[in-house]
Amino acid sequence: MAMVDRYKKSGGFIQLLQVIETCGPKKREQFMKIINEETPRWGEAITAKMLSFEKILSWSPEAIMEITAQMNPLAFGTALKSLPQDKFDVFAAKLGPQDRRKFEQIYKEGSPAANEISACLMKVINETRLMFASGALKFDKIDPDLAIPDEIESKLEKGGAGPSSGGNRTADDVVKEASASSGIQLGNPNEVDSLRRKIVELNNVVMALKKDNIMMKDKLDKIKKIA
């Protein structure tokens, strides 16, 4: 039985997504490797819809303040201790003076254990996911690609519901188009699965570049304001 089989019922995708989001980095990597090997379509969708602390920090200051207003600032500040100084400075530069001072103080004070920091990271991600579920945060105002279509489980089984809710192509779409344009019939399931895995890997690279681009844009905006 493939790992995702138990999650193919309605609502199962979000359940699996939350499991992946809130486990440790090593276990997350192991889970995603299994999912990408067994069901590349699901791996692609999970990668696109998954929340991470780094992704949250790339959002606008207004969105971040919405999150911190709903949870203990100390928990968010403790999660920030997972960042090296340079990345914390990039985050802090986005904030207003009062919020910057508050989180700089939390970041500098105390020495929580690694498991405490990990617990706070999971808390931030879980609280953010719950805020989307309650409507306190809106996907269309933050990142439309994070929106999860209704009945995504059945759509994934039929080859739809790709990484973007905006109609982006799925790995299957790319494979079919490549086959059609080249005139090559990909009848071997191993060949198709291999291509799907490569597309998932490339999609992961694109997502990482997109995150880096957002961070660089924030830095550039701060430099322009200073100049």
Rounded to whole angstroms, how far apart are CA atoms 139 and 35? 25
Q: How far is CA 189 from the centre of its chain?
A: 29
Rounded to whole angstroms, how far apart are CA atoms 126 and 156? 24
Helix ranges restricted to H, 70-188: 73-80, 85-92, 97-108, 114-134, 139-142, 152-157, 171-182
Query: In this structure, what DSSP letter does residue 71 have?
Result: S
CB 64 within 8 A of CB 56: yes
Q: Is the pTM of this model over 0.75?
A: no
Rounded to whole angstroms, how far apart are CA atoms 93 and 70? 22
pLDDT tens for each residue of the chain, 227 residues long:
678 889 999 999 999 999 999 888 899 999 999 999 999 999 999 999 999 999 999 999 999 989 988 888 899 999 999 999 999 999 999 888 999 999 999 999 889 999 999 999 999 999 999 999 999 999 999 999 999 999 999 999 887 655 544 444 445 554 555 455 445 555 555 565 666 566 656 655 655 565 555 555 555 555 555 65
Amino acid (1-letter code) at residue 217: K
Question: Tell me, what's the pLDDT at 165?
Answer: 42
Q: How far is CA 128 from the centre of its chain?
A: 12
Domain boundaries, the chain: 7-59+159-227, 62-122
Question: Tell me, what's the pLDDT at 72?
Answer: 87
- b/e map of 11-45 (b: 16 or more CB within 10 Å)? eebbebbbebbbeeeeebeebbeebbeebbbbbbb
Question: Tell me, what's the pLDDT at 214?
Answer: 53
The CB-based long-range contact list for 63-67 (8 Å cut-off, 24+ gap) reads 63/137, 63/141, 63/142, 64/94, 64/95, 65/99, 66/131, 66/136, 66/137, 67/124, 67/127, 67/128, 67/131, 67/137
